[in-house]
Amino acid sequence: MNYQKLGASLAMALNDVQDPATPSLTVFIHTEPISEAAIAILQSFNVSDVTSDKDTFTATLSANAISQLSEQTWVKSLQLSQKLGLLNNGKRMQSFKI
């Protein structure tokens, strides 16, 4: 595992993974321009909508997959996707009047 390519929150989340073979972490994969071989590797981890004109992908990966991707020279970084919360703690937002 190349920890230099992992965001801090992803590195911490990896410590809590129970089964390293089960896809459980949703991540952003930031890459250099990718080749056909790189596309095949991403697709083997069930990354969807992989094309050579993109450089950022989202996928739910296992710890093992994250480790393998972190070792690829064309992977710039891997970041944990944060769950978005509701504004105002889920309370109804008031409308603005102009």
pTM listed for this prediction: 0.81
Euclidean distance between CA atoms 87 and 92, whole angstroms: 9
For the stretch 6-45, what's the b/e string if a residue is b when 16 or more beta carbons lie within 10 angstroms of its beta carbon? Answer: beeebeebbeeeeeeeebbbebbbebeebeeebeebbeeb
Minimum mean pLDDT among 57-61, 72-76, 88-92: which range? 88-92
pLDDT digits (tens, 9 = 90+) for 7-55: 999 999 999 999 999 999 999 999 999 999 999 999 999 999 999 999 9
pLDDT digits (tens, 9 = 90+) for 17-26: 999 999 999 9
Enumerate the domain spans of the chain. Answer: 3-83
Q: At residue 83, does pLDDT exceed 80? A: no
Instruction: Look over the chain and give the mean of its residue pLDDT values, rounded to a whole number.
Output: 89
